[in-house]
């Protein structure tokens, strides 16, 4: 029996070496995605017992496509959280993790885990130089941990996998915001449970701005839309189905928590802050007419210069900040945002949302030719290699490994001297399975992808990079902020839950 993990890789690798050797991912439209892998539903990957209780009836194929029409629901915007206090130059927020029922599919309430009951979570807006304190209260019936992805934070506020908030308890996280603007996000990180927790809804935007960004004439206000994209699987009642390592059955695409929504836009420029909050799905996004998308930012804020493209690739956890000018469409027309990445039937996973151009509008916004200046990188002090691999031999309990080892919170895998800069060469040693690589604490720079200079979309600050089978990326980071222990891992959360995580200590 071929494991589903092999199959996602096989689907990605169709086209063989050509695809793997490309510096950017451009899957051919003719890729044949694998269908629901019914025979393997009880196959490998079930390492999180509570996630896949034995003896539960099989929920059957994903009912999302049957229960949701395409482009009929309006895409909501996540609510913006208001601080409970702004005293002393600090914004303090109170967030409660709850289990609630919310209709994801029309008219069918689904059980979700949600920050303040919002699916996806509320948006926290912050400003560089102004600290944020978040009091997180866990009203779930299991432990949680809240990580601020992409942020430079002291280790005790990192929300690492082992520093848990027990059920019923509160923990206070302090975010100094001593980094430049960036589209960050917060999500659960409780070891072995992060995968199911994030899947069930524990994820939200944290949008950090600064004077550099605020001074630019980019589209703003109602023309600036945060959009979290992900896939999901539903049972016939419209409830989320979580099975570990289940990419083939997650064929419903959600944008801000609704299936294949429509987004009403005016015929002018919009800024879209895209996040891939999927556990496993890679997106390769395009407008259906191949129209231009101007990428202005990546994980760690704006690029130095805008980059006009027709495709935006996002692996789980990555962000892209883009501007689309809808003035090139006639009022009354619609344009679909498509996805070329398998697995799943293209008539479902190939569509993401539709922009409906409903009115004319005045547009004073523009995208300047120069967006920011990134600091020059110092001479690196040392080099390291990192190898990512999951068992591909079809065993019942495949391990996720970094440098041949599964995660051990008591082990330090990389001892780093504070104040130094390191170059890491990260390789995906799998034949079929895609991964990506995320470092806590730092924003890094991509020096090379497969021995070549990175594309313009990877030339800004990054905290997560994709690694298709056989790929390798050289990246450089500077460790001159906080000391302590922080994880690094594959951000395909089903993989990190399987152990594909390691730990660095900066001292």
| Stretch of 140-148, 211-219, 296-304, 432-440 lying at the interface with Cu ion (CB under 5 A) | 432-440
User: Between residues 323 and 506, which has the closer beta carbon with respect to ligand C2O?
Assistant: 506
Residue from 63, 323, 478, 492 binding Cu ion (CB under 5 A): 492
d(CA 471, CA 314): 16
3-state helix, strand, coil split of the chain in percent (to 5) is 10, 40, 45
Asked if 440 is part of the footprint of ligand C2O (rule: CB under 6 A), the reply reads: yes
Asked if 504 is part of the footprint of Cu ion (rule: CB under 5 A), the reply reads: no
Cβ atoms of 208 and 8 within 8 Å: the answer is no
Asked if 317 is part of the footprint of ligand C2O (rule: CB under 6 A), the reply reads: yes
The residue count for binding ligand C2O (CB under 6 A) is 10
Selection from Cu ion, ligand C2O, none that 149 binds (CB < 5 to 8 A by kind) is ligand C2O
| Stretch of 48-56, 62-70, 140-148, 490-498 lying at the interface with Cu ion (CB under 5 A) | 490-498
Distances (CA, A) of 123 to 51, 116, 193, 397, 462: 28, 11, 23, 37, 21
Asked if 147 is part of the footprint of ligand C2O (rule: CB under 6 A), the reply reads: yes
Residue from 149, 268, 269, 307 binding ligand C2O (CB under 6 A): 149
Q: Per-residue x/- marks for ligand C2O, 152-171, CB under 6 A?
A: --------------------
Asked if 117 is part of the footprint of ligand C2O (rule: CB under 6 A), the reply reads: no
Selection from Cu ion, ligand C2O, none that 258 binds (CB < 5 to 8 A by kind) is none
Residues in CB range of 78: below 8 A, 6 or more apart: 118, 120, 121, 122, 123, 204, 205, 226, 228, 256, 257
Asked if 230 is part of the footprint of ligand C2O (rule: CB under 6 A), the reply reads: no
Asked if 402 is part of the footprint of Cu ion (rule: CB under 5 A), the reply reads: no
Q: What is the DSSP string of 226-253?
A: EEEEEEE-B-TTS-B---TT-GGG--EE
Asked if 489 is part of the footprint of Cu ion (rule: CB under 5 A), the reply reads: no
Residues in CB range of 413: below 8 A, 6 or more apart: 402, 403, 405, 502, 503, 504
Burial 186-221 (b: 16+ CB within 10 A, else e): bbbbbbbbbbbbbbbbbbbbbbbbbeebeebebbee
Residues 453-492 that bind ligand C2O (CB under 6 A): 487, 489, 491
Binding site for Cu ion (CB under 5 A): 435, 490, 492, 495
Binding site for ligand C2O (CB under 6 A): 147, 149, 187, 189, 317, 438, 440, 487, 489, 491
């Amino acid at each position: 029996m071929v494991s589903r993990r092999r199959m996602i890789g096989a689907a990605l690798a169709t086209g063989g070496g050509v695809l793997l050797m490309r510096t950017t991912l451009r899957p051919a439209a003719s890729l044949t995605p694998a269908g629901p892998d019914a025979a393997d539903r009880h196959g490998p990957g079930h390492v999180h017992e509570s996630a896949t209780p034995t003896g539960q009836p099989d929920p059957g194929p994903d009912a999302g496509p049957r229960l949701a029409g395409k482009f009929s629901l309006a895409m909501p915007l996540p609510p913006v959280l208001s601080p409970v206090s702004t005293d002393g130059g600090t914004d303090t927020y109170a967030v409660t993790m709850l289990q609630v029922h919310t209709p994801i599919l029309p008219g069918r309430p689904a059980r979700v885990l949600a920050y303040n009951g919002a699916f996806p979570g509320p948006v926290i807006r912050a400003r560089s130089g102004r600290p944020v304190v978040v009091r997180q209260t866990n009203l779930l019936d299991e432990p949680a941990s809240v990580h601020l992805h992409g942020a430079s934070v002291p280790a005790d506020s990192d929300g690492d996998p082992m520093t848990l908030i027990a059920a019923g308890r509160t923990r206070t996280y302090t975010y100094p915001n001593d980094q430049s603007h960036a589209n960050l996000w917060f999500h659960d990180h409780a070891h072995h449970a992060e995968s199911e927790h994030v899947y069930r809804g524990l994820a939200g935007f944290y949008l950090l701005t600064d004077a550099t960004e605020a001074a630019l004439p980019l589209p703003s206000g109602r023309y600036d839309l945060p959009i979290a994209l992900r896939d999901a699987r539903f049972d016939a009642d419209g409830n989320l189905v979580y099975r570990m390592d289940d990419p083939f059955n997650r064929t419903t695409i959600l944008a801000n928590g609704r299936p294949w929504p429509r987004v009403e836009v005016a015929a002018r420029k919009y800024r879209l802050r895209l996040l891939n909050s999927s556990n496993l799905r890679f997106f390769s996004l395009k407008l259906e007419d191949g129209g231009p998308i101007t990428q202005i930012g990546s994980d760690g804020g704006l690029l130095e210069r805008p980059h006009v493209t027709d495709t935006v690739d996002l692996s789980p956890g990555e962000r892209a900040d883009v501007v689309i000018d809808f003035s090139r469409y006639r009022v009354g027309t619609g344009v679909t945002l498509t996805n070329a990445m398998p697995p799943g039937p293209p008539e479902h996973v190939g569509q993401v949302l539709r922009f409906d151009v409903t009115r004319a509008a005045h547009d004073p916004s523009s995208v300047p030719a120069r967006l920011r200046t990134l600091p020059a990188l110092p001479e690196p002090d040392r080099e390291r290699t990192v190898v990512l691999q999951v068992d591909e031999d079809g065993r019942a309990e495949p391990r996720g490994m970094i440098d041949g080892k599964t995660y051990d919170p008591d082990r330090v895998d990389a001892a780093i001297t504070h104040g130094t800069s390191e170059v890491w060469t990260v390789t995906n040693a799998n034949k079929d399975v895609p991964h990506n690589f995320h470092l806590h604490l730092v924003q890094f720079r991509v020096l090379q992808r497969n021995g070549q200079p990175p594309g313009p979309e990877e030339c800004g600050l990054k905290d997560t990079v994709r690694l298709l089978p056989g790929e390798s990326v050289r990246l450089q980071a500077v460790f001159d902020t906080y000391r302590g222990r922080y994880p690094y891992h594959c951000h395909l959360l089903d993989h990190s839950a399987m152990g594909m995580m390691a730990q660095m200590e900066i001292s």
